[in-house]
Amino acid sequence: MQAQDYLVQLGWSSEMRSEEKNIESLGIETLQAEPDDQKQEIDTSIYYGLVLTKKYFGVGVTLMLPHRCPSEADSPSQIELKTATEKSNSESGLDTKPFLASNPATIDGYVKECDDGSDNDDSASKLDSDSNWHEDWCSIGLLLYLYMLQGVPIGLITAIPLILQTKGVTYSDQAIFSFATWPFSIKLLWAPIVDAVYCKRLGRRKSWMVPCQYLIGVFLLVISFFSSEILGTEGEEVSKPPNVGLLMTIFLLLNFLAATQDIAVDGWALTMLKRKNVGFASTCNVVGQTAGTFLGNVVFLTLQSKHFANKWIRSTPSDKGLVGFDGFVFFWGLVFLLSTTLILIFKRETTYSADIDDTNLGVLETYMVLAKILCLTPIIWFATILLTGKIAFAATDGITDLKLINAGITTDKIASRLIFLTPLQIILPWILSKKTASSRPLNVYLWSYPYRILVGIAIAGFVYWTPSFREENGEYPYLYYVIWILIYHFQQAAHYCIFLSTMAFFAQISDPRVGGTYMTLLNTLNNLGGNWPVTLFLKLTDWFNKKNCIRQGTKILLYSCTAKGDESSCIANGNVCEWVVDGYYISVGICSVFGLIWYFLLYRRIHRIQKLSRSSWKVNFKIIK
């Protein structure tokens, strides 16, 4: 039974009373309330331990809800009423209990979700049993499609470096093009603008999504007519090298538009779906983006490959693939323009939270909201978790592929893993959707975390034994690749379980009033938490590495060949540069030990964080206004 079912319409206000011994002795938890004009909208919360006071005939009456969770069988008469002091009660001679218990009331102030201490999702919240994707199937389908569209330019951007590499560009040129990937890492800078500036007639999210998708379509069409100018030409009398600077500029703008569309779609997902189904937003995000990235990367690279076409499709060989870069981007440009027009005409924005449309914040006020969000205690703890949790996987995620390349595995075989991984990426979110859509999605995170650490250790062992599989001709047998793909699937299954659970939790705790900014903040923290440990351990691994130059056919130590130049000199002189210490395994060991310690220290904290009331993640807009 919720507290508002049996508290007064007589102007009750709540205040902190924890300093009173009679309240502390009862074990009643009290909460500091806000003024009456600063109420917050609360969803599916049970209130307990709240102390309310009112002057009644000059007597300070204190109303306290029981510490235990109220049940449906409780009646108002079971609420315990105590006077502020025994003296005032005895002097007044009033028996306030029957009068007060018979009056309904409203609670103003912070509230806390009632919890029985159980980890059972079914008892945690109404959200678990009520979430039903069938009621939102149309919106879920649209979100899947929007995220798929978003994934296509992302896939193209990840495919371009491979095309440039085949054209003989330098690593410096690759570094220049890498700037095109920056917008998704810094989109928090303009996310408040996306939340604050919009056209009411068009809708808060469509005001940004529609023009961004139109511009993406136009960019793709323009690129298709100038592909030879930016990517260069080969096989002609006068070949042209790729114009890397122009290519970076074009795809930087394209990625900026995709990142802005991502902010709008993330925010729209929070209001397009009913609140009880908002956990499905993460499933739509992962499945849709994965499908789009697959289309923009794997499908594109396969269709434009002359080797694939000549081996599997054509009877007469040709020096071109089935589809060129210009034809591929032209097709998707048309898809973006047509899809956006249909969405503009037929899809209206719908909100399931009453306070969203009443939230009219300016740009500066939205940045102030962002600052206040960062000061929330739950956000501080959750940011700490996001920024440190992926240290456990840094060496495995960032260095393993480099070690395999050193062992003679070609880059095209490493890239081909995505083909085998795609079914897992699409199916797994649907398998986990019931758990991630529950009120405790981080349970999936906690189950998967130690498993992923163990898989990382197994991968390090696989890398260690890789040279023993190599045949005399330098190739690896099919058995090796089968084992490799199986282990990689286990690793990625754990990775996606963690990713899905965090994305689902993001969707649940984000305030729909500033949904784009809130989701972008959480995604930025999540991305930073994955990036900085990899950079750190790449540096540390290089520092841990030790190699010695040994004279060919002997065990005579000549000098250290850890540096790249010394290694080349050693090999050029006919000697052998042997590993003394391989920093990769040291880094994997450090990361794994850190991860296990981190897990045991923060396990309970993560449980407590996901049990908090959703109101704990909201800020008071009226203070800002």
pLDDT in tens, 400-430: 877 887 787 776 677 677 778 878 877 887 7
Amino acid at 119: D
Which contiguous run of DSSP H or E holds residue 558? strand 557-560
- Would you state the pLDDT for residue 132? 58
Token pair, residue 385, equals: 């978790």
Instruction: Give dist(CA 422, CA 429) in Å, integer.
Output: 12
Q: Report which of residues 36 and 430 the model is more confident about.
A: 430
Token pair, residue 199, equals: 């056209």
Find the mean pLDDT for residues 164-168: 69
Classified as helix, coil or strand, 549 is: strand
- Classify residue 343 by burial, with Cβ atoms within 10 Å: 0-12, 13-18, 19+: middle
Residue 462 has pLDDT above 90, yes or no: yes
Q: Which region holds residue 418: left if phi is over 0, alpha if psi is between -120 and 50, else beta?
A: alpha
Contacts of residue 427, Cβ cutoff 8 Å, sequence gap at least 6: none
Residue 37 has pLDDT above 60, yes or no: no
DSSP summary character for residue 189? G
Asked if 417 and 549 count as a contact pair (C-beta separation under 8 A), the reply is: no
Highest-pLDDT range among 317-321, 347-351, 505-509: 505-509
Of the pLDDT bands very low, low, confident and very high (cuts 50, 70, 90), residue 12 is very low
User: Which residue, 492, 443, 494, is CA-closest to 603?
Assistant: 443
User: Which residue, 553, 543, 525, 552, is CA-closest to 185?
Assistant: 525
Instruction: Give dist(CA 180, CA 499) in Å, integer.
Output: 24
- Would you state the pLDDT for residue 175? 63
Residue 594 has pLDDT above 90, yes or no: yes
Find the mean pLDDT for residues 27-37: 36
Which contiguous run of DSSP H or E holds residue 547? strand 546-550
- Would you state the pLDDT for residue 359? 55
Of the pLDDT bands very low, low, confident and very high (cuts 50, 70, 90), residue 165 is low
Between CA 62 and CA 74, with CA 68 as vertex, the angle to 5 degrees is: 80
| pLDDT tens per residue, range 479-503 | 999 999 999 999 989 998 998 899 8
DSSP summary character for residue 127? H
Between CA 9 and CA 4, with CA 35 as vertex, the angle to 5 degrees is: 35
- CATH of region 364-545+582-625, choose from 1.20.120, 1.25.40, 1.20.1250, 1.10.3420: 1.20.1250
Find the mean pLDDT for residues 545-559: 82
- Would you state the pLDDT for residue 553? 77
User: Which residue, 257, 244, 258, is CA-closest to 178?
Assistant: 244
Find the mean pLDDT for residues 216-226: 91
Residue 121 has pLDDT above 60, yes or no: no
Taking all residues of the chain, what is their mean pLDDT, rounded to a whole number? 73
Domain 135-352, CATH class in plain words: mainly alpha
- Would you state the pLDDT for residue 174? 64
Q: Report which of residues 450 and 70 the model is more confident about.
A: 450
Classified as helix, coil or strand, 445 is: helix
Q: Report which of residues 284 and 9 the model is more confident about.
A: 284
Classified as helix, coil or strand, 135 is: helix
Instruction: Give dist(CA 298, CA 434) in Å, integer.
Output: 30
Half-sphere exposure of 371 toward its Cβ, with a 13 Å CA cutoff? 7
Which contiguous run of DSSP H or E holds residue 302? helix 300-303
Of the pLDDT bands very low, low, confident and very high (cuts 50, 70, 90), residue 571 is confident
Of the pLDDT bands very low, low, confident and very high (cuts 50, 70, 90), residue 450 is very high
Of the pLDDT bands very low, low, confident and very high (cuts 50, 70, 90), residue 338 is very high
Highest-pLDDT range among 104-108, 162-166, 454-458: 454-458
Instruction: Give dist(CA 350, CA 353) in Å, integer.
Output: 9
Between CA 529 and CA 536, with CA 532 as vertex, the angle to 5 degrees is: 140
Range from 188-192, 389-393, 492-496 carrying the lowest mean pLDDT: 188-192
How much of the chain, in percent, has pLDDT values that exceed 90?
22
Asked if 155 and 461 count as a contact pair (C-beta separation under 8 A), the reply is: no
Find the mean pLDDT for residues 225-233: 79
Amino acid at 523: N
Whether the domain at 135-352 and the domain at 364-545+582-625 fall into the same CATH topology: yes
Residue keyed to tokens 């499609």: 145
Residue 460 to residues 396, 411, 484, 487, 596: CA-CA distances in angstroms?
7, 19, 12, 11, 17
Range from 54-68, 142-156, 533-547, 572-586 carrying the lowest mean pLDDT: 54-68
Instruction: Give dist(CA 455, CA 367) in Å, integer.
Output: 41
Bridge partners, 404 (sequence order) = none
Q: Report which of residues 215 and 5 the model is more confident about.
A: 215
Range from 225-229, 394-398, 408-412, 483-487 carrying the lowest mean pLDDT: 408-412
Q: In what order do the strands lie in the sheet with 546-550?
A: 557-560, 546-550, 576-581
Phi, psi for residue 80 in degrees, rounded to 5: -85, 125
Highest-pLDDT range among 36-45, 271-280, 318-327, 339-348: 339-348
Of the pLDDT bands very low, low, confident and very high (cuts 50, 70, 90), residue 564 is low
Radius of gyration of the chain (CA): 30
Task: Kindly list the domain boundaries of the chain, sorted by start residue.
Answer: 3-114, 135-352, 364-545+582-625, 547-581
Q: Report which of residues 279 and 191 the model is more confident about.
A: 191
User: Which residue, 285, 289, 269, is CA-closest to 277?
Assistant: 269
Residue 60 has pLDDT above 60, yes or no: no
Torsion of CA 607, 613, 615, 616, to 10 degrees: -40
Half-sphere exposure of 593 toward its Cβ, with a 13 Å CA cutoff? 6
